Structure 1
Amino acid sequence: MTTIDSYIQTLKVEVAKQDPVILGIAIAVLVVLVTIVLFKLITRGRNTKQAILLVGLCDSGKTLLFSRLVHGKYVSSYTSIKENSGIYDVIGSRNKIAEVVDIPGNDRQRAQFWERYKSQARGVIFIIDSTTFQKEIKEVAEYLYTLLSDKTVNTQFLIACNKQDVTMAKSSKVIHQQLEKEMNTLRVTRAAALSSTDGSSSGVFLGKRNKDFEFAHLGKLKVDFADCSAKGSGGEGDPELNMVEEWIGALV
């Protein structure tokens, strides 16, 4: 007989005695036990990583994307000096929600906030300014490489190629191809630096050895690409975030 069964039998005896003090204590203890059991059943198997992290360089459109997802409105672009967090209601679902955290993009703060929030990451959206990608490709690749090679992170990434409303913006397909080439070059540089520093190459190696870098070679660290426009072709009109919202919906 379980402890709860024994307790119920004892409770029946005390109820039969009709002692109000004992009965009150018994009911209070029973309520506590039931609450604990229910809490364990509800939280069993629940993923404690519930946040969607928005990362990227300054002026890539992270804060506007955050405002569109969380508040459903347009905000003027500005450089964030601290994180923004809020709740996103998943499109097409009444009971799916996700916490979204916008991490500052300046190089002096982004590492600090990444360390603070990475353990909570259910997924990471890396936002790229598709209009300036060509001149920022080295910095973009270095930042992305650092995040992907973080040993403590094992989650899904979405490379959101933002500002597709601008005529000269690079498409996600082009960015995908050029970023793989840059990551391949960077991987060689990083591996050489590790070897010269400690006489070994024991650091994180992204992709497959003896093959050019491909995001498809990252195994469980899945990386997807999406075209999007947080601003929208109408300036402050409707954003084009279908691919981003579908990715979040599938993730949570």
Structure 2
Amino acid sequence: MEADSTGGNMGGKADTEMSDNPFEPYIESLRLQLEEQDPVLLIGLIVALAAVVITCVFLKYFLTSKTVRSAVLLVGLCDSGKTLLFSRLVSGKSKRTQTSITDNSAPYKAKNDRGSSWTLIDLPGHDSLRSQYLEKFKSAARAIVFVVDSAIFQKEVRDVAEFLYVLLTDTVIFRNAPALLVACNKQDITMAKSAKLIQQQLEKELNTLRVTRSAALSSQDGSVGGSVYLGKKGKDFEFSQLHMKVDFVECSARSSKGEEGDADIESLEKSLAKL
């Protein structure tokens, strides 16, 4: 009787172990099959699987970073009319403005069939502030609206070009390639320069800046001051050489009939609707 009891217990333990590992025979069979395979083939399969995983991770990161960039930055020198333009775009109304010392932001709904909406951010134009605010928001930029005072452009062309040079050679902006809209503002003023003339003058000034900056700051790896090279080497600079979309538009945030009149920002709104 004791022998039967002992045998029964042993049989029960074996059955329990079998039930605990129902996949063990399959695992063992798979192990034997893998051992019989060519090692080169196995390595190839592992590399292919790793490539698929890496590609999926990269695509997820790339698509996520694209959706995050939903800001439209308004930048430019002081008194170029950025803040008034910001008010016109957001509310359609004019308001008294003063030199900004911090950023202003508000939702902006583009005038297109898709109902696209962005976060419009007006950055301070003072040279002591603009770099830190640009650093704060540049990674989120889907587009950059560079506002130029067309009425006094000839006096400010050097300063405008220097600020634009900083933007275009920034590594983050170069990598993300947000659309660049150069808004030639204050077209309601008689002496305002046209968008075409402003583009031509900026190309000449940026070409000169590229030469002087390259000579002064060229580093061993061929970059300039840790920034990217502007345009194509061996050719005079043109905006068409940039890998980002560039548009020059004429606009006026202030109406020729006074602050309460309608602004002329239709061309800028059309460009924003295409983002």
Q: TM-score, normalised by structure 2?
A: 0.72
1:33 maps to what in 2?
none
Deviation at residue 46 of structure 1 after TM alignment: 6.4
2:8 maps to what in 1?
none
Matched, 1:217 2:241: yes
Name the aligned partner's letter for residue 87 of structure 1. P
Larger radius of gyration: 2
Matched, 1:240 2:264: yes
What does residue range 1-252 of structure 1 map to in structure 2 within 5 Å? 47-93=67-113, 95-153=115-173, 154-195=177-218, 198=219, 201-203=222-224, 204-218=228-242, 220-236=243-259, 237-251=261-275
Residues 158-191 of structure 1, C-alpha deviations (whole Å, 9 max, x = no match): 0000000000000001101111100010010110
- How many percent identity over aligned positions? 54
Unaligned segments of structure 1, at least 5 residues: 1-39
Measure, in 2, the Cα distance between the counterparts of 1:205 and 1:60.
Answer: 27
Measure, in 2, the Cα distance between the counterparts of 1:92 and 1:141.
Answer: 32
Residues 98-132 of structure 1, C-alpha deviations (whole Å, 9 max, x = no match): 11000000011100000100111010000000011
The structure carrying a bigger helix percent of its residues is 2
Name the aligned partner's letter for residue 86 of structure 2. F
Measure, in 2, the Cα distance between the counterparts of 1:61 and 1:168.
Answer: 16
Measure, in 2, the Cα distance between the counterparts of 1:182 and 1:200.
Answer: 25
Deviation at residue 44 of structure 1 after TM alignment: 7.5
Residues 49, 120 of structure 1: 8 Å contact kept: yes
Unaligned segments of structure 2, at least 5 residues: 1-59
For 1:85, what is the secondary structure of its paired residue? strand
Inter-CA distance 44–112: structure 2 relative to 1 (3 Å threshold): closer
For 2:274, what is the secondary structure of its paired residue? helix
Task: State the Cα RMSD in Å.
Answer: 1.8
Deviation at residue 201 of structure 1 after TM alignment: 3.3
For 1:159, what is the secondary structure of its paired residue? strand
Measure, in 2, the Cα distance between the counterparts of 1:106 and 1:59.
Answer: 9
1:17 maps to what in 2?
none
